[in-house]
């Protein structure tokens, strides 16, 4: 009988190890010597694999956070799901249904108190299983124009007659397809990735594109001809947002420690230096202005 209980107990332990890895407390992270950091897969310039080496803005900031904690970083790569709620669930508080693994810390989470307090259809807080904190960058939608095609006209009405590129199923996609009573819709070119649009802009196949500032600058970093600004996007109801971090709701001590680290990295200019190294524009989060 005892041997059967032992066998059952061993089986439960093995199954737990195989199908679920819990996020950990501050003490667990420090004592283990590593922190597992969730970063988006194939998402330059923030996080991407370059010949087997993890690279990008979020990778470098994650390394600095780990160094300040006295541990090594381990990367939890995951693919973006349909919504941010899905990403938070898959990466930080429940895990994907295929393996139930979750990370200790998630990068590139919108730092928005309004979003963190959103209520679902049952009156419950939608994201009560996570703590969002530590803003380290301010992102915005950006437009790149080929002035040889658009001239100096800054109004989006110009794109009733000229092609403009967007990444499919993003906010710029929905916005451009509906603005001016849908009169731009037939001129909106869709791409699986914003970098397909930057390539076509360089080749002269489209007149302009809209994407996040960091990605637009990254995709056009070798091109000196594109005109970059946010002129014409005034009607967007959410053009600017802060980017921060997230942990599971019951590990607030870990969040407090990392929040202090991120603030010090900002004060020292370390985060700004990462953006400069990648030839990207850094913008101070609203929390630090």
Tell me the per-residue pLDDT of 35-68, one tens digit each, with 9 for 90 and over.
999 999 999 999 999 999 999 999 999 999 999 9
Q: What is the pLDDT of residues 213-232, one digit of tens each?
A: 999 999 999 888 899 999 99
pLDDT of residue 229: 95
pLDDT at 77 over 60: yes
Would 2 be classed as within a structural domain?
A: no
> Based on the structure, what is the number of domains in the chain?
2
Q: How far from 269 is each of 94, 108, 174, 266, 276, CA to CA, in Å?
A: 35, 19, 36, 5, 10
The mean of the pLDDT values for the chain is 88
DSSP, collapsed to helix, strand or coil, labels residue 71 as: coil
pLDDT of residue 285: 96
Structural domain ending residue among the three candidates 184, 204, 229: 229
* Residue 40 structural domain: 16-139+241-288
Quickly state the pLDDT bin for 84 (edges 50, 70, 90): confident
pLDDT of residue 122: 53
Would 235 be classed as within a structural domain?
A: no
In the chain, the percentage of residues whose pLDDT exceeds 70 is 87
Residue range 75-99: average pLDDT?
88
Would 144 be classed as within a structural domain?
A: yes
| pTM summary value | 0.87
Would 8 be classed as within a structural domain?
A: no
Structural domain ending residue among the three candidates 203, 229, 255: 229
Quickly state the pLDDT bin for 289 (edges 50, 70, 90): confident
Would 7 be classed as within a structural domain?
A: no
DSSP 137-204: EEEEEEEEE-HHHHTT--SGGGGGSS-EEEETTSHHHHHHHHHHHHTTGGGEEEESSHHHHHHHHHHT
Residue range 114-136: average pLDDT?
70
54 and 144 both lie in a single domain? no
> H helices then E strands: how many in the chain?
11, 11
Backbone phi and psi for residue 193, each to the nearest 5 degrees, phi listed first:
-130, 150
């Amino acid at each position: 009988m005892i041997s059967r209980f032992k066998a059952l107990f061993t089986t439960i332990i093995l199954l737990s190890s195989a199908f679920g890895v819990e996020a950990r407390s501050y003490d667990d992270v420090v004592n283990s010597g590593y922190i597992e950091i969730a970063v988006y897969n194939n998402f330059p310039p923030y996080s991407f694999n370059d010949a087997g080496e993890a690279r990008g803005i979020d990778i470098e900031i994650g390394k600095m956070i780990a160094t300040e904690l006295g541990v090594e970083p381990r990367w939890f790569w995951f693919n973006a799901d349909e919504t941010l709620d899905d990403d938070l669930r898959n990466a930080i508080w429940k895990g994907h249904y295929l393996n139930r693994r979750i990370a200790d810390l998630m990068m590139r989470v919108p730092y928005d108190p309004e979003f963190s307090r959103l209520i679902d259809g049952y009156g419950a807080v939608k994201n009560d299983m996570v703590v969002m904190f530590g803003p380290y960058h301010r992102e915005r939608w950006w437009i790149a124009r080929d002035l040889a095609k658009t001239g100096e006209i800054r109004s989006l009405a110009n794109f009733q007659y000229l092609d403009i590129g967007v990444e499919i199923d993003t906010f710029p996609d929905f916005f451009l397809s509906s603005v001016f009573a849908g009169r731009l819709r037939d001129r909106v070119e869709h791409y699986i990735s914003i970098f397909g649009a930057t390539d076509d802009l360089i080749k002269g196949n489209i007149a302009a594109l809209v994407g996040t500032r960091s990605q637009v600058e990254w995709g056009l970093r070798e091109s000196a001809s594109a005109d970059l600004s946010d002129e014409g996007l005034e009607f967007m109801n959410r053009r600017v947002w802060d980017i921060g971090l997230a942990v599971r709701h019951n590990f607030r001590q870990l969040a407090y420690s990392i929040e202090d680290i991120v603030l010090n990295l900002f004060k020292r200019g370390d985060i700004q230096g990462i953006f400069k190294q990648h030839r990207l524009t850094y913008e101070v989060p609203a929390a630090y202005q």
